[in-house]
Amino acid sequence: MENKQLRIMVIDDENIVGKRLKPALEKTGDTVETFEDAKKALERFNEQSFDIVVTDIRMDEIDGIEVLEHVLAHSNKTKVIIITGYATVEVAREALAKGAFDFIAKPFKPNDLRIVIEKAAKQLRA
Amino acid sequence: MKKLFERLQKHPKLNPLTEARLTLARLRKLLENARVIMNLLADGDEKLKEEYIFDRHYVTSLVDQVIERSGMLVFDAVVLAPEGGKTLYLIHDELKAFAVDQFIKNGDETGAGRFPLQETNPDEPELRLLARVLAWATGPLPNGSPSVMDFIRRIFDHIVPVLRDGHYLKMAKSRLELNGASAKHEIGVIGIESEPIKEGLVFINDLECRPLGMMLIGAGQENSENKWQKQQPTTKWIAFIGKEQLSLRGMDADNKIYLEAAFSGHLDSDFIFIFIENPMDPKTFLPPSFHVEKTDLGTLAWSYDVSGQNMENSFTQLGAHLLGSFCGENIS
């Protein structure tokens, strides 16, 4: 896994998240795909493996916990990072208990997420 | 039943010191609420400028918290100065109605036509919403609606009579005298904590008050080379002191300065608030790091730059300018 570019999926139904994260995360050469619709994201996940999935926890049709369960059921290598809002800290704990790698609370800077992704990448390389 | 009601209506008469302490505690509560509002708005400003990733919930939550704290501010202000409280409540209602209409109920786009942004117009709706919230905070707003800062200015103007209340001078049983080159300062001292203060003329070392101590260091440095002269005018002050708290108020007609400060070393609770009544010019003595807002009655200034060294610098600088005209203490 040394020096391997990461394939990262970002799922958030708020447009601003993907729009801002994609260019920020691609700066280091990783491949980033963004989705506002969790259902479409999971369909994509079924056809293409990802090293890291970054998902918002509160979404309309499919929430972050469902995304987490789906990803972990289909891949034991993928690391899932949960994005939480103000009111979802309890749910974030639940996500960690269910196997999420880590969570990051909004508002955050792209670099804050980059640090968490690097930690996840280290585990992937180990 | 009637007797019981009458008994409940009769408030036990508090001794003046207890009354002063209660007033001061309420004032601190008001300042704390004002500080939370300023911090929330500063946080929003940082999120907008530094390309944070946030969602609509962050913005609406910020608005909710500002409105909630504004309501607490009105309550504090009316407890301190009941007269005219109804006007403050009406302004708060207006402030809240505008925010709910523009940011909570109508979200981003519906309200945008009625509340256009003049200077910036970010691409993302969340950023636009936050930019508009910050414009609501600073004003001016269309149709003369009050901005958050308008509201805060009104709150401080409302409580000025409480700050300028001179009857505390008679209560002060301890007195600190600072004799300087061009002025003499007489500070009536009242302790707000349980430990008693020596009565009569006191020395700086008799007083345990970190903010006042820092101010007096600054004052001493400013005038160490001045030559003391007799026949100086006396500036009267009242100081409510605690170990980490200071409420210093100028009591002369030409020295209407009210300073409230906490300096504990805990970043969450330290602050300096100053209100300077017209026509004094605060530019002559305020440290540059202070945020300044003009009100109808004067100038409101505050600093949350609370890292230890910055706080010390602010206190010494304020001490040098406000109490600086002395070269020794207890010289008569």
A114 inside 8 A of chain B by CB: no
Averaged pLDDT, A8-23: 91
B52 inside 8 A of chain A by CB: yes
Write the residue in B50, B55, B126 that is nearest to A109 by C-beta.
Answer: B50
B53 inside 8 A of chain A by CB: yes
Are B164 and B157 spatial neighbours (Cβ–Cβ below 8 Å)?
Answer: no
Which tens digit of pLDDT belongs to each residue from B57-96? 899 999 999 999 999 999 999 999 999 999 999 999 999 9
CA distance B235 to B254: 9
ipTM of the complex: 0.81
Residue of B nearest to A59 (CA): B55
Q: B125 to chain A: which residues are within 8 Å by CB? A: 15-16
CA distance B235 to A43: 78
Q: Give the count of beta carbons closer than 10 Å to the beta carbon of residue A77.
A: 10
Confidence of residue B1 (pLDDT cuts 50, 70, 90): low
> Which of the pair, B275 or B139, is modelled with greater confidence?
B275
In total, chain A counts a number of residues equal to 126
Which tens digit of pLDDT belongs to each residue from A38-85? 999 999 999 999 999 999 988 888 999 999 999 999 999 999 999 987
B50 inside 8 A of chain A by CB: yes
Which tens digit of pLDDT belongs to each residue from B166-183? 788 888 999 999 876 667
- Please report the residues numbered 64 through 123 in chain B whose beta carbons come closer than 8 angstroms to any beta carbon of chain A: none
A17 inside 8 A of chain B by CB: yes
Confidence of residue B332 (pLDDT cuts 50, 70, 90): very low
- Are A85 and B57 in contact (CB < 8 Å)? yes
Average pLDDT, chain A: 90
CA separation, residue B75 to residues B34, B166, B257 (Å): 12, 24, 24
A23 inside 8 A of chain B by CB: no
In total, chain B counts a number of residues equal to 332
Contacts of B7 (CB under 8 A, 6+ apart): none
CB pairs under 8 A between A and B: 48
Between the two ends of chain A, the Cα-to-Cα distance in Å is 8
Confidence of residue B305 (pLDDT cuts 50, 70, 90): low
CA distance B123 to B108: 12
Contacts of B11 (CB under 8 A, 6+ apart): none
**DSSP single-letter state for residue A5:** P
CA distance A7 to A31: 5
Are A31 and A62 spatial neighbours (Cβ–Cβ below 8 Å)?
Answer: no
CA distance B213 to B315: 9
- Residue A30 has φ and ψ, to the nearest 5°, of -75, 160
